Amino acid sequence: MSKRLILPAFVGLLVVAAVWAWGLEQSRARASLQNMLNAQYQNAFYSTLTRINNLDALLGKETVASGEQRAILLADIWQEAIQAQASLTQLPVRDVVLSQTAKFLAQVGDYAHSLMHDLARGKQISAQEQDKLREMRRQMATLNKELQEMEREINKNGAGYWEIADQFRSRPAARKPHTPAPGEETFNAINREIEQMPTLIYDGPFSDHLERQKPLALKGKKMISEAEARSRALKLIDGQDGVNYQARVTGSTLGRLPSYRVVIKGRGQGPDKSITVDISKHGGEPVWMLLARSVGSPKLNVDEGRARAKAYLAKIGKPNMVATYWERNDNTVTYNFAGKENGVIIYPDLIKVTVALDNGQVVGMEAAGYLMQHHERDIAQPRLSEAEARKQVAPALNPGNGRLAIIPTDGGGEVLTYEFRGRSDGAEYLVYINANDGNTEKILQLQDTKNGTLVM
């Protein structure tokens, strides 16, 4: 080798060595990150497996238990099911693939919780409910078996089991069509079995009947035209004097409350002052309205804002509403209103109104809850008097005067109660006593803050 080449060759070797060392370090770092991530996934998987194994056994015990043991087992089932669902949804499997299993677990927990409630108030578990529990147990055993088989695979293949297809590469060209990971295959098989689970209807938030809930307030109402929607939307806005507003239907929406989407602009005003309104196709009722303008420094206080909100509701044809809770966000306040009939507060009939404190303009309203729940109610005379109901409230609370209130139940139903407010150990509480049987339906804790009253 000529002397001229010695130096470049040496430098070249150095570069190769440096690149090699760098590459080695990179691959080590990558392997270490991969192991850390896989450990998380394994943890989620084994936690799911353990909980489902427990649920399998607990549901079995529940079907042969009696007396107070039943309630204790139901409480365990509730807890295990919630934790199982939480672990399951941490697996690196697409949500759609997990959704059947996740829903099944959530419903098992929710169902156990609702039966627990029944037992606590002296109601017995019916033969039909017993059958449901048995069916759940059967499904849980299948799920358990499938997951045990999955575990065998994981035990064989180790950490690499949870290999995720590169869905989220930044360069679109590098994206590969989705190839299902091994975990996904197993869950697809599980889904095919669990899909045969019969519909589950009970008094809980995950009951199947809530999925198909129809807006009670719009029952039997006629479909309105686009032109009608425009004129209704124009009546709904709290416009400024002297501004010529124009409404345009920009689209329509599906879902529980099929609506026309109307955008309203004042002539000569910028797009930041445009107002969006959804008007239900049936009955032409407002679903929500929003004007997303910036709000300047406040000239009104919270009480003055509430008066504006109340006047607005009267103007749009909802005069019988009472203000309940409020929440302040920067320079706007959102007031919650509940219905009122014959002196009874109706909390499910909920409408929210947002007032800008700079000039008192109503910049938002939301009535989806009202449209879903409002209907003609035949409020029967309560069996208990206020004084009788008060005896059911813990004496430590030293409750004030109670008032009649209809409150929603977990499963979308309603119950007539007496609402009592009281204080204990420096905290304020609302207690709801069933006006017919004296059971405590709900206890809420109130927290006063500068931005409103929180209900916990």
Partner 1 sequence: MAAFYVGWIRNTGDGNFGPAVSEYVLWETPEAEAATGHNINITLLARVIEGEAGGEPFIGKVAVGAVILNRIRDARFPNTLSGVVFQPLAFESVANGRIWEPVSQESYRAARLALAGWDPTHNALYFWNPAKRVSRWIWTRTIFTQIGKHVFGR
- Length in residues, the chain: 456
If the CB atoms of residues 132 and 352 are measured against partner 1, the closer one turns out to be 352
The contact mask relative to partner 1 for 13-42 (x = CB under 8 A, - = no) is ----------------------------x-
350 binds partner 1 (CB under 8 A): yes
292 binds partner 1 (CB under 8 A): yes
If the CB atoms of residues 82 and 313 are measured against partner 1, the closer one turns out to be 82
Report the sign of the C-alpha dihedral through residues 109, 114, 119, 121, in that order.
positive
Which of 1, 64, 174, 456: binder of partner 1 (CB under 8 A)?
456
Rounded-to-integer distance, Cα 143 and Cα 53, Å? 9
Which of 102, 362, 371, 416: binder of partner 1 (CB under 8 A)?
102
If the CB atoms of residues 233 and 338 are measured against partner 1, the closer one turns out to be 338
238 binds partner 1 (CB under 8 A): no
If the CB atoms of residues 47 and 90 are measured against partner 1, the closer one turns out to be 90
126-185 binders of partner 1 (CB under 8 A): 164, 167-168, 170, 172, 175, 178
Q: For residue 436, what are the β-bridge partners?
A: none
Which of 139, 186, 334, 434: binder of partner 1 (CB under 8 A)?
334
Q: What is the DSSP string of 245-298?
A: EEEEEEEEE-SSS-EEEEEEEETT--GGG-EEEEEETBTT-EEEEEE-----S-
Which of 225, 246, 301, 447: binder of partner 1 (CB under 8 A)?
447
Helix (H, G, I), strand (E, B) or coil at 92: coil
Which of 160, 198, 251, 317: binder of partner 1 (CB under 8 A)?
251
Tell me how many residues contact partner 1 (CB under 8 A).
Answer: 82
Tokens describing residue 143: 């799920």
Report the sign of the C-alpha dihedral through residues 54, 55, 57, 62, in that order.
positive
If the CB atoms of residues 91 and 300 are measured against partner 1, the closer one turns out to be 91
455 binds partner 1 (CB under 8 A): yes
421-440 binders of partner 1 (CB under 8 A): 430
Q: What is the DSSP string of 155-172?
A: HHHGGGGGPPP----SSG
With residue 417 as reference, give the H or E element that holds it. strand 414-424
Rounded-to-integer distance, Cα 63 and Cα 137, Å? 9
